[in-house]
């Protein structure tokens, strides 16, 4: 049987394309299977669609502005006006969603379960930003986060450059009412002094966040650092050299010791990875973590109380064969698996 599928043909083995007597038009019910992102009713369970087609959302999650009942809301913040070298991270959310289609319909490895069976996850789309009025952008991001957090859902956010973490931290600290622990993967400490209230700089967010009392440096850790800064603002540093000298279990143990069960915000700058594994970023630095190291560390965080997460600085214009975007998509998938596992074990 030959089935006409919107813009393509599927041909039964051994059948001639000229055998018109055995042609069937796909029904409306069948057609929805390839666009479940907009027509599916439930946020639960995998959506099995072709990896190469269909409307994109992250991991084929339901696309919706209705966040009632959602436990985790994925959204993008396509902002890169704060970069100091190569721009292009505004296309990061699109790139991560596209890469996620490749892993959306298979059981995540090595977890062995479908995280969406018991965790309601939706894709909210992207935060609207008026790039012609950049001083309005921090507040726009704060309001975006407040709206989602007010529903009781957690956030998984795709940047965009790393500046976006600063307004996201403001909204999360406001929600949880205390300085947060920070788990920060990066090549850079992002603690360069900057006391201007109006500057947008992707290298000073954590300087400002500590000054503002948004994060507690005594219970915060930076992983993969390999650029110098005169002042790390009291945060614990597990630099790239330390990670390479130790196994990933040692990294996990040290993070658990520092953070404990405090509300923790997780931020992953993709340049934490070595450029061999993540060339598609704005400020690459040699000597970083491998994708395997990063995933192994993250998979050990099941005891941590992650209250918000972001992945930033994916710039697909500099990527090769999607390897940077795929790394980001796998990191995001593992974070979702962590939340699903923690929920199931409560």
List binding-site positions.
Answer: 162, 186, 188, 190, 269, 271
Annotated binding site for Mn(2+), which residues?
162, 186, 188, 190, 269, 271
CB 122 within 8 A of CB 70: yes
Name the residue among 306, 337, 305, 346 with its Cα closest to residue 115: 337
Residue 254 CB partners (closer than 8 Å, separation 6+): 221, 236, 238
Name the residue among 38, 64, 52, 30 with its Cα closest to residue 153: 64
For 1-144, where are the E strands, in sequence order?
Answer: 2-5, 8-11, 23-25, 62-63, 72-77, 121-126
Structure tokens at 270: 């993709």
CB 310 within 8 A of CB 159: yes
User: Across-strand partners of 289?
Assistant: 273
User: Across-strand partners of 268?
Assistant: 185, 311
Judged on CB neighbours under 10 Å (0-12, 13-18, 19+), 80 is buried
């Amino acid at each position: 049987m030959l089935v006409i599928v919107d813009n393509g043909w599927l041909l039964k083995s051994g059948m001639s394309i000229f055998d018109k007597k055995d042609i069937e038009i796909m029904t409306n019910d069948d057609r929805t299977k390839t666009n479940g992102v907009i027509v599916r009713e439930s946020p639960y369970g995998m959506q099995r669609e072709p990896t190469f087609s269909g409307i994109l959302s992250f991991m084929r999650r339901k696309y919706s502005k209705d966040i009632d009942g959602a436990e985790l809301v994925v959204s993008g913040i396509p902002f890169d006006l704060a970069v100091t070298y190569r721009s292009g991270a505004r296309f990061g959310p699109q790139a991560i969603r596209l890469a996620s289609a490749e892993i959306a319909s298979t059981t995540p490895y090595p977890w062995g379960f479908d995280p969406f069976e018991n965790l309601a996850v939706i894709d909210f789309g992207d935060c609207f930003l008026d790039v012609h009025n950049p001083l309005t952008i921090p507040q726009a991001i704060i309001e975006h986060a407040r709206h989602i957090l007010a529903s009781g859902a957690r956030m998984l956010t795709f940047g965009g450059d790393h500046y976006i973490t600063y307004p996201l931290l403001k909204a999360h600290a406001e929600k949880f009412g205390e300085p947060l622990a920070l788990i920060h993967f990066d090549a850079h400490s992002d603690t360069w002094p900057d006391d201007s209230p109006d500057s947008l700089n992707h290298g000073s967010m954590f300087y400002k966040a500590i000054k503002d009392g948004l994060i507690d440096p005594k219970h915060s850790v930076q992983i993969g650092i390999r650029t110098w800064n005169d002042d790390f603002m009291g945060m614990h540093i597990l630099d790239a050299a330390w990670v390479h000298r130790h196994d990933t279990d040692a990294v996990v143990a040290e993070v658990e010791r520092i953070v404990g069960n405090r509300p923790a915000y997780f931020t992953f700058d993709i340049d934490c990875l070595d450029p061999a594994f993540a060339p598609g970023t704005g400020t690459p630095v040699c000597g970083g973590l491998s994708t395997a190291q990063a995933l192994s560390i993250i998979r050990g965080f099941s005891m941590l109380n992650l209250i918000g997460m972001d992945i930033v600085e994916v710039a697909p214009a500099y990527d090769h064969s999607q390897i940077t975007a795929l790394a980001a998509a796998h990191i995001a998938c593992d974070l979702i698996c962590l939340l699903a596992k923690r929920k199931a074990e409560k």
